[in-house]
Structure 1
Amino acid sequence: MMRFLIAILAGILGAGLGLVAGWFVGEFLAWLFEVSCFEGACGYFVGLIAIIGGLVGLVAGPLIALVAGRRRAGREAPADAVPGRARAKTAGQFVGAIAVIVALGAGGTWLYAWLADDSLGGPNRAPPQLHYEIRFPAGTALPDTAAGVDVQLDTEKNQAWGDLFDDWTRRDGDRPMIAGFFELYFRASSRVLSVKLPEGPRYIFVLKLPRAPGQMAAYTDWHPADAVDEDGSAQPRAASGQEGVEIRYRVVYAGED
């Protein structure tokens, strides 16, 4: 078992050294043969030589480690040991080591791509939508058209302006409401939604959503504004809780509603 693990480590080390050596060899050959760099041709050439070097190192590393280990074990083997069985075991360990290294490389590549991909929805799926409703105190005058409502969503990745539904004005008893949605294109650790009517300050809400939210069957409870940005103020102030402006929201994926 120890010899097998050493073969795996030797393959990883050999692949790394082979890539580096292949890169330098490729650079030298590109200079020696004056490979054109038009449209990146010299870069592709160097990359190809580096890959070949990595593959050579991947094969040579485990092979050298296993052959050296077998010779060392052969000197310690009993006189009645079967040579063919030892060769078969070495060949099996070599194939197994290569398979493990390839699997580790493929798994690492997939994990890196998954962690680095900040998009929501996937390549063959529409991004989810954040549906929201914002209600105001009784007597608040809403604008005549949706163009008079300014709703924004800020994350560490982007800033977006929201769309309102066709039936964007609604009522909850005597309290007027507006309703709309945002496309959520990115995973984000923070999402801040703000709304401003023509008359009045901008109300700011810190949404309580995970980095990659899933489908939500229903709207959240109503949450009061977290901050208020008065016209002409240097910075927003913390909301007092008496503003009477509240939000609720849900995340909807296409085909799951």
Structure 2
Amino acid sequence: MKSSSRIAAGVAGAVAGYVAIFLVFSLLDLGNRADPITSGLLALFVYSPMGAVGGAVFASWLVSRPSKSASNGSVARNSLKSLGVVALLCVAAAGTYLVYAYATATPWLNPNAANPLLVFEVRLPPGVKVPTSAEGITIELQTDINTMPAELTPAGFRHDGEQAVITGEVELAFRTSHRQLAVNIEGQPSRIYPIGLSARAPHTADFGTWRPLPDGSEIRYRAKWPGKS
């Protein structure tokens, strides 16, 4: 049998030995029952690795038996190579997990760069008056992760016929599809507008369609990413 095949068999034996010892400890409830955490750690990091060593040696010996060149030295070499492969695989798996955990621990929408913006326009019901400045108007983006106050752009305030339009923007910091915009105007009831962007909020150059609330007000919006108009 080729050396690579023997090493592969040793790797399989090491994995089988590790899993077998861990299952034995788990199913038979071996160890100190008064301290199951310590017992579990010993099984995971001490006894199971010993099983992996035994499994690698046994598998290497088993596949080397038919060979005329089989010897204790060749079995030991194949076993060590197999355990080295297993160790490298464990390191690679741990590294992959750490990268994934780091990337997903905080779901930043645009990590290490400026946040994109939600640019919005709110069109109020006909006849409703609003201040000509930002005073008396509070708008906040609410998500399942954070809240963020919006900045109004009074220069964009206008009228569409009998309907007043207020404009502004707010940072989108996190990946989430659970977003809503809370609009509070002094002397008026609070209004909550669902924001139907996907979690990653891709950039769009144009506003979407007007989305109405039952009170006759409407909102439209778009995501604006840094460096794009």
Unaligned runs of 5+ in 2: 1-7, 26-34, 36-40
> Which of 93, 111, 127 in structure 1 is aligned with 2:82?
93
Distance in 1 (CA, whole Å) between partners of 2:204 and 2:144 is 23
Which residue number corresponds to residue 223 of structure 2? 251
The structure 1 segments of at least 4 consecutive aligned residues displaced by more than 6 Å after TM superposition are 11-14, 56-59
Unaligned runs of 5+ in 1: 18-23, 25-49, 226-238
Amino acid at match of 2:109: L
Answer yes or no: is the 8 Å Cα contact 2:133–2:154 preserved in 1: no
**TM (normalized to structure 1)?**
0.64
> Which of 115, 118, 124 in structure 1 is aligned with 2:107?
118
Distance in 2 (CA, whole Å) between partners of 1:13 and 1:121 is 44
User: 1:126 offset after TM fit, Å?
Assistant: 1.5
User: 1:214 offset after TM fit, Å?
Assistant: 2.7
The 3 A distance-change label for structure 1 pair 224 and 59 is same
- Percent identity of equivalent pairs: 25
Which residue number corresponds to residue 210 of structure 1? 198
**TM (normalized to structure 2)?**
0.71
Which residue number corresponds to residue 55 of structure 2? 65
Answer yes or no: is the 8 Å Cα contact 2:115–2:171 preserved in 1: yes
- Is 1:165 aligned to residue 133 of structure 2? no
Answer yes or no: is the 8 Å Cα contact 1:11–1:101 preserved in 2: no
The 3 A distance-change label for structure 1 pair 194 and 78 is closer
Q: How does 1:1-257 map to 2 (within 5 A)?
A: 1=8, 3-8=10-15, 62-74=52-64, 77-78=65-66, 80-83=68-71, 89-122=78-111, 124-165=112-153, 167-225=155-213, 239=214, 243-257=215-229
After superposition, what is the alpha-carbon deviation per residue over 1:115-166, rounded to whole angstroms, capped at 9, x for unaligned?
A: 32132221x2112211111112343322032022121222222233211125
**Tell me, what secondary structure is at the counterpart of 1:147?**
coil
Distance in 2 (CA, whole Å) between partners of 1:2 and 1:73 is 7
**Tell me, what secondary structure is at the counterpart of 2:128?**
coil
Distance in 1 (CA, whole Å) between partners of 2:51 and 2:221 is 56
**Tell me, what secondary structure is at the counterpart of 1:146?**
coil
Distance in 2 (CA, whole Å) between partners of 1:13 and 1:186 is 43
After superposition, what is the alpha-carbon deviation per residue over 1:169-192, rounded to whole angstroms, capped at 9, x for unaligned?
A: 134455321111111223334212
User: 1:2 offset after TM fit, Å?
Assistant: 5.0
Distance in 2 (CA, whole Å) between partners of 1:104 and 1:149 is 52
Distance in 2 (CA, whole Å) between partners of 1:12 and 1:100 is 15
The 3 A distance-change label for structure 1 pair 245 and 162 is same
User: 1:223 offset after TM fit, Å?
Assistant: 0.4
Answer yes or no: is the 8 Å Cα contact 2:123–2:217 preserved in 1: yes
